[in-house]
Amino acid sequence: MKKLLKIFSSWSKKKKFAVLFGIFIVLGAFLSGFSKSLIDFEESKIRANQDGVYFVAGNADKNATVQFDGEIISLNLDNGGKFEQLITPQKSPTEKIQEVKVIAKYKGKETERTLEVDNSSYFEYQEKLKEEKRKEAQRQKEAEDDAISKLKEVEANPTRNNLEIAKSFVRKIPQENSDITDRLNKATKEVEDREKEYKAKVDDANSKLSLAEKNPTKDTIAAADSAINSLSEDSKENYSTRLSNVKEKYAKQEKDNADKAAKEKAQAEQAAKTQAEADKKVQAEADKHAAQEQAAQAPQALVDNNNSATVYITPTGKRYHTHPHGNGSFSSTTIENAEAQGYTPCEKCY
């Protein structure tokens, strides 16, 4: 050491100054390497936005590895080591005022800084989202309740009008409900099936009514009436006038037929009466003619059969008869014996 001091003392002032200055520079550089921070921020109090994202600015060593609460962040540094950057934490904030530890490391050296992040906007926004979700859930429930109410109506009375109303309420539901959609699909199928069935009834009513109009009979009118009665009241009105016209036509036709039949019957009865009278006259003439012929032939028959003819007499009577009639006790004999006893022919019998 004495030798070094002796040598240093022998140097000129200029040389001494140069050496001392160099030593000072080297020592300053050496000491500055230990004291320089790996990262610094322009502001330590930061305000995050509604998404929890916050903006930082400062200086950092380009070789340093930087962690924000244990999460490695690659800072976008310019040539001078300055940065301005948005930090998006992987984890959602848990406190309104949150301390974020920032650690920068390089070759065994470490710099730690603390940022105070105000997450008030984030939590306000979360509350707003919760309120919106609550309102949305309420709107969903109210829309579902209204839709279910209309679905019950179409299920109880599956008409096209009720179905279209139910569809309009289902469309108002913000988020689709699969159960409600399934019920709507079933109700739609039920309505469509009923419409097909009803259309078949309408076609049948049209067909039978047309047949009755072409051929108005008791059977065709009854068939048309039955088919029309199976329709709704509104549809019945569309056919009531046509059916009434058919019934009136049939009634007139029946009356005309009845009048015609009565007239024909009267004519037939009159013809029969006239014929009977004519036949009676003919028979009377025939009977008269036969009687005349019989009267002309009677004397000869009496003469021819006088002896053998059987007659009837009574003990107290004076006539003989061809058969017993009137009062008395009749006995049979021949005309010859009767006349021999004084009996004469009965005026009624001969």
Q: For 209-265, how does the pLDDT look when each residue is reduced to its tens digit (9 = 90+)?
A: 999 999 999 999 999 999 999 998 888 888 989 999 999 999 998 999 899 999 999
**Within 13 Å, how many C-alpha atoms sit on residue 180's CB side?**
23
Residue 14 Cα to chain centre, angstroms = 112
pTM: 0.50
Single out the residue in 118, 140, 174 at which a domain terminates: 118
Which structural domain range is residue 6 located in? 2-31
Same domain? For 42 and 114 the reply is yes
Position 238 scores a pLDDT of 83
Single out the residue in 82, 99, 118 at which a domain terminates: 118
Confirm whether 162 is domain-assigned: no
Position 315 scores a pLDDT of 86
Position 25 scores a pLDDT of 40
Strands 45-47 and 344-345: unpaired
**Within 13 Å, how many C-alpha atoms sit on residue 16's CB side?**
10
Q: Are 60 and 39 in contact (CB under 8 A)?
A: yes
Same domain? For 66 and 108 the reply is yes
Q: Are 117 and 48 in contact (CB under 8 A)?
A: yes
Position 120 scores a pLDDT of 98
Q: Are 228 and 243 in contact (CB under 8 A)?
A: yes
Task: Give the integer Cα–Cα distance in Å for 181 and 189.
Answer: 12
CATH of the domain at 83: 2.60.40.1930
Biggest distance spanned by C-alpha atoms of the chain: 236
Confirm whether 89 is domain-assigned: yes
Single-letter code of the amino acid located at 191: V
Position 177 scores a pLDDT of 97
Low-confidence ranges of the chain (pLDDT < 70): 1-35, 287, 289-308
Q: Are 19 and 7 in contact (CB under 8 A)?
A: no
Position 26 scores a pLDDT of 37
- Contacts of 124-129 with CB under 8 Å at 24 or more apart are 124/50, 125/50, 125/51
Position 22 scores a pLDDT of 52
Task: Give the integer Cα–Cα distance in Å for 57 and 76.
Answer: 10
Single-letter code of the amino acid located at 59: N
- Backbone phi and psi for residue 279, each to the nearest 5 degrees, phi listed first: -65, -35
Tally of domains in the chain: 3
User: What is the residue-wise DSSP string for 92-158?
Assistant: PP-SSEEEEEEEEEETTEEEEEEEEEE-HHHHHHHHHHHHHHHHHHHHHHHHHHHHHHHHHHHHHS-
Confirm whether 297 is domain-assigned: no
Confirm whether 68 is domain-assigned: yes
Closest CA to 242 of 220, 274, 267: 220
Closest CA to 319 of 339, 302, 305: 339
